[in-house]
Structures are given as structure tokens and as C-alpha cells.
């Protein structure tokens, strides 16, 4: 461990950074599943993650860490538009800020404070040698300095090509190394066209088809009217009538105009990173696509295919982004094409997991 990246890779897999010594970053962000949680967890069907204590359940879905380095720091523009930041509500401004939170969260890794984390680090002879070698001889002199070094190391690892290889079939098609099928190309056109499905309004960092290194998110926040995940709330001990207010719970954005808004996730590896939405409300990718189309003209998107009934009411119906969700009438074949295109955004390591 001679570099921050090598140290960060070791820390990412270290279960001693959890109070129980049973949970690590990999537990919820496995490299075997595009850095999401591979645990189905019975009735919640992977919608949320289990904490290091072996029984606590979260309330939000563990997002992929794929391509996380493309996310800008959280900021609010002069036009009052919030963008960037980590977690579904942007409460961690940068990647370095983000890596601190799960370690100290009582229902995630559960460490009580920074001092307890540093004490765990000092138990390792490898860390005892690596930290001063990488960050200087005074790194162990005080707790904040050692904990900041841990943050730097983990953030350095998250910014590597392990998380962003840009080797999906879509990326290869841009480099002339692969060709999209006719249906996949049709889906791409529907995705990006101004008079298409409207996907690129929110799910593109460039807004241009065939643009290299697209993050497939604009990093902004919208209230899509996602329904409550009743199964999760029943099992995780949430208070009755609890409402997740999303971005408004971010101390930097405590404003009613942000009520119920959540960050637009990347669509890279989307075919293998379900369940979908901020609370894992939908199991299938088709369901998530149709949900986005429910305000569009025509019949597509009016029924939840997982229940066979109309969509449940929004958990937070304030400030719904109705206009952003409208598209021209789409057919079932159009939806098939969109999903075919979305599958091309899967990194090579996960292509075998895609259901064709």
C-alpha cells in the first residue's frame, strides 16, 4: 500500500471499519454487481440495505458507485437549481465528504466517532506503516488528521477506472469497436431526440447523442412522485406517516421548493442495478421506464406492470416534475427499444448479468 489508491482499495474491503467487524463498503457496493448491494434480504427484495448490526434496515436504496467521480460538488445555481453532491439528497458535498458518512452512520457501519475509527486503523500493522508513508510522519498525531487521511484514500480509490472503465457496448460503439443493433440504435435515437422520449433532458450530462464520456445524468434533483415502499417501511421501524422529503432534508437546501426531489442517478449499468428509484420501489427496469412515461400522451405508462393496477399515489406529491416527464406518445415497441439501448450502457464486467 504505497499510494492513496492502494490504501483506499484495502480500506474499501476492510470489515474492521464497522462496529460489528462484519460490514465493509463492499457489503452495500459490491464490485461483483456494479457497486450495488447484492443481498436480496427477503421481503424487501434488495430495495434497501442491512446495517452492520445484522438487523437494521435503511430507508433508501444503495445507489451504484459506478462513475461516481463524474459527480460535481453539490451546489445551487443563481437560478435556484440544485445539482451534484453525494447520496440521494446531496448532503455530502464531495466524494471525500461522502466516504465519512456510512462509517459513522448508526444503521450502516455503526462506528460511534472518528476516534473509534482511528483506533481500529491503528490495530493494523499494515496501516501503521502505510499511513505515514503516504501522508507523512505526523498523520497519527491527532484523530482528525488520521481520519482525513482515511477519507482521502477512499476517495482516491473511488476515482479510479475500477469504477469507471468506459467499456460498455455503447462506449465501444463510439470508438468504432462495436456496432449497436437496429433496435438499440432506435432506442438511442428515442433517448436523445428532442421529439423522442425525453430521457436526455435529465439523464445526460452532454445532451448529445454519441458524445463520449456521458455520465447519463444531469446531476440535478426532481420530484418524480415515487410511491412509498410499503414493504420497506413495514420492516425498518419507520414512524407512521413518515415522508422522505429528499433534497429538502439536505441542510444546504432546506427550502420547500426542493420538497420530495431526489438526485437523478446515472444510467450506466442500469440494467443490473435494480431495484429502482430512491427507495427501491420498482423491481424491474421496464417498470421504472413506464413510470417515467405515465404523464405522456397515449396508454403506455398508465399501469404499473408489477401490480397490474394504476400507480400508487406519490409519497410526497409536492412540486411534481410533471412537465419534465412528458414525452410524445410511445408504443410498447418504443419502450422495448429504449430498454435495449439502456442495456448497452452495461460495463463489460457485468454484461453476463444482463437479462436479454
List, for residues 104-145, the tens digit of each pLDDT value. 999 999 999 999 999 999 999 999 999 999 999 999 999 999
Integer Cα distance of 56 and 7 in angstroms: 29
Residue 138 to residue 210: CA distance in whole angstroms:
48
Q: What is the pLDDT of residues 331-348, one digit of tens each?
A: 999 999 999 999 999 999
The pLDDT score that the predictor gives to residue 332 is: 95
pLDDT at 355 over 90: no
Q: Cite the DSSP H helix spans in 36-113.
A: 95-98, 100-104
User: What count of Cα atoms within 13 Å lies in the side-chain half-sphere of residue 51?
Assistant: 20
Quote the pLDDT of residue 211: 87
Instruction: Give the residue with greater pLDDT, 95 vs 254.
Output: 95
Distance in angstroms (rounded) separating the CA atoms of residues 85 and 263? 9
- pLDDT tops 90 at residue 40: no
Tell me, what's the pLDDT at 45? 85
Q: Note if the bond before 275 is cis, omega within 30 degrees.
A: yes
Would you say residue 356 has pLDDT above 80? no
In three-state secondary structure terms, 30 is strand
pLDDT at position 55: 87
Q: Categorize the per-residue pLDDT at 65 as very low, low, confident or very high, splitting at 50, 70 and 90.
A: very high
Residue in this structure with the C-alpha cell 428509484, named with its chain if needed: 277
Residues 6+ apart with CB under 8 A from 255: 248
pLDDT recorded at residue 297: 79
Is 262 a residue whose pLDDT tops 90? yes
Nearby residues of 86 by Cβ (< 8 Å), 6 or more positions away: 68, 71, 74, 92, 93, 94, 95, 97, 98
pLDDT-based confidence at residue 254 (cuts at 50, 70, 90): confident
Pair 85, 91: CB distance under 8 Å: yes
- Per DSSP, 76 falls in state E
Amino acid at each position: 500500500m504505497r499510494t492513496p489508491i492502494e490504501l483506499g482499495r484495502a480500506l474499501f474491503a476492510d470489515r474492521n471499519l464497522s462496529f460489528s467487524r462484519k460490514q465493509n463498503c463492499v457489503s452495500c457496493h459490491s464490485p461483483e454487481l456494479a457497486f450495488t448491494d447484492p443481498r436480496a434480504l427477503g421481503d424487501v427484495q434488495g430495495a434497501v440495505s442491512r446495517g452492520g448490526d445484522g438487523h437494521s434496515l435503511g430507508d433508501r436504496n444503495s445507489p451504484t458507485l459506478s462513475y461516481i467521480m463524474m459527480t460535481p460538488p453539490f451546489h445551487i445555481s443563481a437560478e435556484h437549481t440544485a445539482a451534484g453532491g453525494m447520496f440521494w439528497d446531496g448532503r455530502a458535498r464531495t466524494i471525500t465528504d461522502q466516504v465519512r458518512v456510512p462509517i459513522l452512520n448508526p444503521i450502516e457501519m455503526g462506528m460511534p466517532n472518528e476516534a473509534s475509527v482511528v483506533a481500529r486503523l491503528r490495530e493494523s500493522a499494515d496501516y501503521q506503516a502505510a499511513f505515514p508513508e503516504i501522508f507523512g510522519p505526523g498523520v497519527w498525531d491527532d484523530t482528525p488528521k488520521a481520519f482525513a487521511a482515511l477519507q482521502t484514500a477512499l476517495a482516491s480509490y473511488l476515482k479510479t477506472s475500477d469504477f469507471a472503465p468506459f467499456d460498455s457496448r455503447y462506449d465501444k460503439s463510439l470508438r468504432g469497436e462495436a456496432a449497436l443493433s437496429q433496435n438499440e440504435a432506435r432506442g438511442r435515437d428515442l433517448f436523445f431526440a428532442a421529439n423522442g422520449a425525453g430521457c436526455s433532458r435529465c439523464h445526460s450530462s452532454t445532451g448529445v447523442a454519441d458524445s463520449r464520456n456521458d455520465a447519463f445524468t444531469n446531476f440535478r434533483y426532481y420530484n418524480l412522485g415515487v410511491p412509498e415502499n410499503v414493504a420497506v417501511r413495514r420492516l425498518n421501524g419507520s414512524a407512521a406517516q413518515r415522508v422522505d422529503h429528499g433534497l429538502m432534508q439536505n441542510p444546504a437546501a432546506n427550502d420547500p421548493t426542493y420538497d420530495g426531489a431526489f438526485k437523478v442517478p446515472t444510467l450506466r449499468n442500469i440494467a443490473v442495478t435494480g431495484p429502482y428509484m430512491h427507495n427501491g420501489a420498482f423491481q424491474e427496469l421496464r417498470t421504472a421506464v413506464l413510470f417515467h412515461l405515465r404523464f405522456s400522451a397515449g396508454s403506455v405508462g398508465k399501469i404499473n406492470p408489477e401490480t397490474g393496477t394504476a400507480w400508487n399515489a406519490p409519497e410526497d406529491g409536492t412540486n411534481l416534475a410533471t412537465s419534465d416527464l412528458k414525452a410524445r406518445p410511445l408504443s410498447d415497441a418504443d419502450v422495448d427499444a429504449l430498454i435495449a439501448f439502456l442495456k448497452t450502457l452495461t460495463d463489460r464486467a457485468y454484461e453476463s448479468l444482463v437479462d436479454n
